[in-house]
Amino acid sequence: MPSALINIGASGAAVARASLELTAQNIANASNPNYARRTLTQSELVGSATIGLNSADSLGGVRIGGVNRAGSELVQLQARNASSDLERTDALLTGIQNSEVALEQSRLFESLVDFEAALVRLESDPTDATLRTTTLESARQLANTFQLAERSLGDARGLMQSDLTAETTGLQNDLDELARINADIVAARDGSAGLASLLDARDQALRGISEELGVTVTFSPKGAAEVQLAGTPAEVLVSGSVASIFTSTFAADGTASFAINGTAVDPDSGGMAGRAQALEEQANLQTQLDAIAGQVITSANAAQASGVDFGGATGQPLFAGSQASDIALALTSGSQLVTAPAGSPAGSSDTTVLGNLITAIGDGTGPIQNTDTLLLGLSSRTAGVETRREGLTIVSQAAEAQLLQETGVNLDTEAADLVRLQQSFEANGRVIQVAVEVFDTILGLR
**Cβ contact 39:26 at 8 Å:** no
Window 416 to 435, contacts with other proteins (CB under 8 A): 416, 418-419
Q: CB–CB of 276/258 below 8 Å?
A: yes
The 3-state secondary structure of 115-139 reads HHHHHHHHHHCCCCHHHHHHHHHHH
Q: For residue 160, how many C-alpha atoms fall within 13 Å in the half-sphere facing its CB?
A: 34
Q: Does 87 bind other proteins (CB under 8 A)?
A: no
Torsion sign, CA atoms 187, 43, 41, 75: positive
C-beta closer to other proteins: residue 298 or 410: 410
Query: Quick check: 139 and 318 in contact, CB under 8 A?
Result: yes
* Spatial separation of the C-alpha atoms in residues 191 and 22, rounded to whole Å: 13
Residue 188's Cβ-side half-sphere holds a number of Cα atoms within 13 Å equal to: 22
393: buried, middle or exposed (CB in 10 Å: 19+, 13-18, 0-12)? middle
| Three-state secondary-structure class, residue 174 | helix
Site for other proteins in 99-128 (CB under 8 A): 100-101, 104, 109-110, 113-114, 116-117, 120-121, 123-125, 127-128
Q: Which is nearer to other proteins, 38 or 214 (CB)?
A: 38
For position 363 contacting other proteins by CB under 8 A, the verdict is: no
Q: Looking at beta carbons only, is 231 or 366 nearer to other proteins?
A: 366
Least distance in angstroms from the C-beta of 268 to other proteins: 25
Q: Does 98 bind other proteins (CB under 8 A)?
A: no
Figure out which of the listed residues 261, 413, 433, 441 binds other proteins, where binding follows CB under 8 A: 413
| 347 binding other proteins? (CB under 8 A) | yes
Query: Do 409 and 30 touch, CB atoms closer than 8 A?
Result: yes
- Smallest separation, CB 377 to other proteins (Å): 8
Interaction between residue 313 and other proteins (CB under 8 A): no
Q: Does 351 bind other proteins (CB under 8 A)?
A: yes
- Phi and psi based region of residue 272 (left: phi greater than 0; alpha: psi -120 to 50; beta: remaining): alpha
Cβ nearer to other proteins, comparing 165 with 410: 410
Q: Among 24, 46, 264, 401, which residue interacts with other proteins (rule: CB under 8 A)?
A: 401
Q: Nearer Cβ to other proteins, position 234 or 375?
A: 375
Site string for other proteins, 36-75 (x = CB under 8 A): -x--------------------------------------
Of 399, 413, 398, nearest in space to 37 by CA: 413
- The nearest distance, CB 70 to other proteins, in angstroms, is 10
- Please state, in angstroms and as integers, the Cα–Cα distance from residue 235 to each residue in 76, 227, 230, 232, following that order: 22, 9, 8, 8
- Span from 15-23, 229-237, 241-249, 372-380 in contact with other proteins (CB under 8 A): 372-380
Q: Considering only residues 269-288, where is the footprint of other proteins by CB under 8 A?
A: none
| 253 near other proteins, judged by CB under 8 A | no
Please identify which residue in 376, 423, 426, 437 interacts with other proteins, judged by CB under 8 A. 376
Of residues 47 and 347, the one with the C-beta less far from other proteins: 347
- State the maximum Cα–Cα separation within the chain, in Å, rounded to a whole number: 146
d(CA 52, CA 304): 121
CA 35 to chain centre: 22
Q: How far is the CB of 400 from other proteins (least distance, A)?
A: 7
Return residues touching other proteins (CB under 8 A).
30-31, 33, 37, 97, 100-101, 104, 109-110, 113-114, 116-117, 120-121, 123-125, 127-128, 340, 344-351, 358, 368, 372, 375-376, 378-383, 386, 397, 400-401, 404-405, 407-413, 415-416, 418-419
